[in-house]
Amino acid sequence: MEPNYDFTNLLVLIVPFASYFLGIVIRKKALPGKNSPPLSHQLLIGIPVSLVVVSPMLPIISKTIADTPAFLVSMGIIMEHGMLVNETITKHLGDKIPGLRAQSN
């Protein structure tokens, strides 16, 4: 029986993005900031931001898939980026775009 490379390739693509969005949810639920934007705003802005943050790491992740500790460290780094980068960007956009802050309250 041949290995299923399609499944492995799909996991290498999906798991990092899921880790990024899990970081957003963990930050919002466990460690919300003082003026933390709503989760829906953070998840929506997380779509383009995750493409910028996660995509450059995909070649590294594909090389670490066979090395479990390295893979888990990579997922932890991506999750940490979801926790820190996303809320900061959402706050800065809320300050720059008039009316966005009023809609979130």
- Per the structure, how many domains does the chain have? 1
**What's the pLDDT at 100?**
59
Residue 38 neighbours by CB distance under 10 Å: 13
Q: Which residue has the higher pLDDT, 17 or 104?
A: 17
Residues 6 or more apart in contact with residue 61 via CB below 8 angstroms:
12, 16, 71, 74
Q: Is residue 78 part of a domain?
A: yes
pLDDT over 90 at 16, yes or no:
yes
In this structure, is residue 92 part of a structural domain?
yes
Structure tokens at 36: 């933390």
- Is 81 part of any domain? yes
Q: Could you tell me the pTM of the whole model?
A: 0.84
Q: What is the mean pLDDT of residues 2-30?
A: 89
Q: Is the Cα dihedral 93, 98, 104, 105 positive or negative? A: positive
Could you read off the pLDDT of 28-85 as tens digits, one per residue?
999 887 878 888 888 998 999 999 999 999 998 888 888 999 999 999 999 999 999 8
Looking at residue 14, its pLDDT comes to 94
In a domain, 9, yes or no: no
pLDDT at residue 101 in the model: 54
Question: What is the token pair recorded at 101?
Answer: 């802050």
Inside any domain, residue 102: no
Per the structure, the complete domain to which residue 78 belongs is given by 19-28+36-97
- The pLDDT of residue 9: 83
C-alpha–C-alpha distance, residues 37 and 101, integer Å? 8
Read off the pLDDT of each residue in 1-22 and give the average, rounded to a whole number: 87
Does residue 4 fall inside a structural domain?
Answer: no
- Distance, in Å, from the CA atom of 1 to the CA atom of 11, rounded to the nearest integer, reads 20
pLDDT at 15 over 90: yes
For residue 59, tell me if it sits in a domain: yes
